[in-house]
Structure 1
């Protein structure tokens, strides 16, 4: 019985092996599927050489063109004035910004002026007797001498004798001592040199001010300047008076300025040259960050494309007979996002957007807008 079962299993195994072998042979003879060619759709553009302006992009912060840092040259108590000495306070030209208590010093000035008056009065009898021809002008000087006003200039001495006589009495020395004291007395009051606004206040009314102490900052808010650094290659092109377009960071506001000054030296570290752009606008504030676009020069027979379309080998992709190819390109100027190229023949079809994994010989199909295809079908 066992031999019969083993014989039957052996026959079945042989039959199964035969059918499996037949299937393997049949499958081996089937043709392999042909992979379909992938045609990638690309955006293209046709080269048309024109005159491309070179725009230099730079940025910086605004600073007031007229700026004064206020320092004290005298010592005393800060007395209150017509306006509070606070940031944001506006002053007209000539208005008092800071008034330091000068009562004690004023008294010493008045004392010196009185001494000068007395010295001149003491020589008047001698002048009447010895110099009758100059007596009247000195008498007129005394008559116009007012202790509450600025000391008038001494009469002009017309002879050596008169000069020796007046100088010998110490009158000239006393006069210049008084003028020196009056000059220092004027430093107890700081007036606005121009109409503007106080941007920084480091002292308050009633505080003690010391000599050499910084008191604040005062600016003219009507005119601002922005300092920008430009490549040295444009040193001979950038000129004062050229118009400049300025924008804020949000690209919502545009201002027009002009190049007011160009530094005559090049920074040895950065190899850049400094230019100053003047701009006026009621909406501008000191410290604002702006971006500037300066028109440096124009390149004839050139095109401008995205920087990422230019390879590291200074080549660009072109489309020829539905295949990608590469040609050399001469880069003239680079900006943050663009590059200016020359020596690209007119009519050349180039890529408008980069293609991932692009290579020479790649099969492509230029993208055709739907509206254009519909019009051509009609």
Structure 2
């Protein structure tokens, strides 16, 4: 009985082994599924080499081209004028900005002028007797002498004898002393050198002004300049008179300026050259921050693409027979978002937008825009 049971179990084991072996053989010979080819749709562009202008971005603050810092060269009380000395006050050329009380100093000037007049009057009898040929011109000078006006220039001395006589009486010395006092007297009044506006006032009417004290600032609000720093590589290219496009930070206003000056030296620390852009507009104010685009030069037979289309190996992706390939390119100029390239043949089909995971040999197809217009039935 035991032998019969072992025989039956042996037969069942053999049968099971046969079935398992057959199943393994069938699974091994089963064909593997074929992976479907993935074709990436890409945006393309066809190369057409042209002349690319190199635009240099720069920025800076506006400052008035005509600016005067007002300082006092005399001491005295600040007297009221026809206009309040306050920021924002407009003045025309020649109008009085500041008037310092000069009553005491004026009296000393008048005293010196009177002494000069008396000195000349004292020599007139001697001139009539000893120098009758020059008497008349000195008499005319004395007649035109007005203590309330600026001292006129002394008559021209025509001979050595006349020169010795006039100099010996101390008249020339007295004359230049008076002119010196008159020159200083003029410093008690500061007039507007041009039509402009007061932007800073550091004193008020009635306050004591001291010698050397800063009084304020006066500018011409019609013409402004913006100082920008340009890379030294463009130092020999940037030209005076170049037109410059300027925009504000909000990109809502556009102004047109021109390069008025270019510094002849390069900053040793930053290796940049300073250029000054002149701009005129009634909407501009001193201190405004503007962005400028300067046309430095033009590159012939070149193209401009996005910087992210240029690989680290200075190559770009091109499309040949529906496959991606790489082509070496020569970058000429980099901006914040663009790069100018040379040595890319005309007619070459390149990527217009970057493709994630792109590699040479990748299967792609150009994106074709559907321009068919669907007309709705009425």
TM-score computed with the length of structure 2 as normaliser: 0.89
- 1:250 is matched with 250
Q: Does 1:168 align with 2:178?
A: no
Over 3 Å counting, the alpha-carbon distance change for 1:21 and 1:212 in structure 2 is farther
Which deviates the most, 356-365 or 193-202?
Answer: 356-365
Aligned to 1:307: 307
Post-superposition CA distance 1:70-103 (Å, at most 9, x none): 1111111111111111111111100011111111
Which residue number corresponds to residue 143 of structure 1?
Answer: 143
Aligned residue for 1:136, secondary structure, equals helix
- Residues 194-229 of structure 1 show CA distances to partners (whole Å, capped at 9, x for unaligned) of 101111111111111111111111111111111222
| Structure 2 residue 142 is the aligned partner of structure 1 residue 130 | no
Deviation string for 1:150-200 (max 9, x for gaps)? 011111122212211111111110110000000000001000101011111
The alignment's C-alpha RMSD in Å is 2.7
**What SS class does the counterpart of residue 119 from structure 1 fall into?**
helix
Q: Matched residue of 2:167: which SS? A: helix
2:103 matched to 1:72?
no
Unaligned 5+ runs, structure 2? 1-12
CA distance in 1, matches of 2:187, 2:312: 65
1:348 CA displacement = 1.1
Counterparts of 2:372 and 2:207, CA distance in 1: 78
Closer, same or farther in 2 for the Cα pair 1:23/1:152, shift >3 Å? farther
Instruction: Name the stretch that deviates more: 344-353 or 116-125.
Output: 116-125
Q: Which residue of 2 aligns with 1:270?
A: 270
Instruction: Find the residue that maps to 2:98 and give its secondary structure.
Output: strand
**CA apart distance, 1:237:** 2.0
The Cα shift of 1:28 comes to 5.1
1:4 corresponds in structure 2 to none
> Does the residue aligned with 1:133 lie in a helix, a strand or coil?
helix
- SS in structure 1 of the partner of residue 181 of structure 2: helix
Alignment partners' CA distance in 2, 1:126 and 1:300: 87
Q: CA deviation at 1:21?
A: 6.8
- Offset of residue 235 of structure 1: 2.3
Q: Distance in 2 between matches of 1:88 and 1:271?
A: 39
Higher mean displacement: 91-100 or 29-38:
29-38
Q: State the secondary structure of the residue aligned to 2:156.
A: coil
Aligned runs of 1:28-67 on 2, under 5 Å? Answer: 33-67=33-67
Q: How far apart, in 2, do the equivalents of 1:288 and 1:34 lie?
A: 66
Task: Give the distance between the partners of 2:271 and 2:57, measured in 1 at CA.
Answer: 16
For 1:233-254, what per-residue CA distance to the aligned partner results, in whole angstroms no more than 9, with x for missing partners? 2222222112111111222211
State the distance in 2 between where 1:162 and 1:300 align. 78
Once residues 167 and 94 of structure 1 are traced to their aligned partners in structure 2, the CA distance between those partners, rounded to angstroms, is 37
Distance in 2 separating the partners of 1:307 and 1:173: 77
Alpha-carbon separation, structure 1, partners of 2:255 and 2:32: 68
| Aligned equivalent of 2:200 | 200
Q: Which segment is superposed worse, 68-77 or 227-236?
A: 227-236
Alpha-carbon distance, 1:373 to partner: 10
| C-alpha distance in structure 2 between counterparts of 1:305 and 1:23, whole Å | 63
**Aligned partners of 1:21, 1:94: CA distance in 2, in Å?**
116
Question: Which residue number in structure 2 is paired with residue 359 of structure 1?
Answer: 359
Deviation for aligned residue 1:133: 2.4
Structure 1 alignment gaps of length 5 or more: 1-13
SS at the partner of 2:114?
helix
Which deviations, in whole Å up to 9, do the C-alpha atoms of 1:327-359 show, x marking residues without a partner? 100011111111111111111111111122222
Aligned to 2:240: 240
Cα distance, 1:322 vs. partner? Answer: 2.2
Q: Distance in 1 between matches of 2:154 and 2:41?
A: 95
Q: Distance in 2 between matches of 1:27 and 1:210?
A: 112
Q: CA deviation at 1:58?
A: 1.4
Deviates most, 78-87 or 245-254: 245-254
Within 1, Cα distance between the matches of 2:24 and 2:201? 98
Partner of 2:8: none
Give the CA deviation at 1:33: 4.5
